[in-house]
Amino acid sequence: MSLFLLVHGSVQSAEGWKLLIPELEKRGHMTLTTNLPTTEPQASATRYADIIVQSIDQTDYDLRDMVVVAHSASGMFLPLVAAQRSIGHMVFLAALVPKIGASILEQFRADRSMFNPEWVGKNPVEDEDVARRFLFHDCTPAIIAWALKTRRLMHAKEAMSEVCPLKTWPSVKSSYVVCAEDRVLSPAWSRRIAKERLGSAPIELDAGHCPYVSHPSELADALSRAPIVKS
């Protein structure tokens, strides 16, 4: 059994994990969520990481059995969390992966294949059609109607332009979940980055950018398979 700390991305609140949580619990796991701030447009990646760490510190669970799952933009903060707390495993879920010595924006300027070009500049919080097309296209109409209510913009502009503050990558096991139907991050980019930066073959899901909404059972199976290695 593991404790999964679920960290939402930049356009949904923690409510977006609602469908995944019972699936993980059915498999014998425990879950914890955190809400990242929406009122701090100048917040650094370290600030977001500190908030996630505060959630970790609220539990007395053995951190060696804790899996921190970061979706989308929150992948920027995940290694910063692992650098502060000895968690058992990092899972990048259709997520950005920081690069020491560079910012996410610098990465994107050097490699435009990171994002789907049709996604760049879009705001799914302000535009329902954008959310339907890029985030929830593989969901049923009923699920889409619910998912639209979970939208909330997390201002991560400062974190995107900030050079990764890490000096060394944390020595924590990690996995990457690639969503083959992702219309936000390029699946090809995600597969390559998983191997280059995390040193592991990615876990593949036949899903869009938000599999915890569209395919929660399949995602729960994938997360349950992510190896937990005790030190």
Q: 5-25 pLDDT, tens per residue?
A: 999 999 999 999 999 999 999
pLDDT at residue number 228: 44
| Confidence (pTM) | 0.95
* CA atoms within a 13 Å half-sphere pointing along the CA-CB vector of 42: 0
Q: Which residues pair with 185 in a beta bridge?
A: 115
Distance set, CA 225 to CA 130, 143, 162, 175, 201 (Å): 32, 26, 33, 10, 13
Contact between 81 and 53 under an 8 Å Cβ cutoff? The reply is yes
Q: What pLDDT is stored for residue 136 in this prediction?
A: 98
> What is the pLDDT, as a whole number, of residue 230?
38
Instruction: Of 13, 50, 79, give the one whose Cα is nearest residue 213.
Output: 13
With a cut of 70, list the residues of the chain below it in pLDDT.
227-231
Which residue's entry shows tokens 């995107």?
160
Please state which architecture CATH assigns to domain 3-225. Answer: 3-Layer(aba) Sandwich (3.40)
Position 227 scores a pLDDT of 54
Strand partners, 70: 7, 92
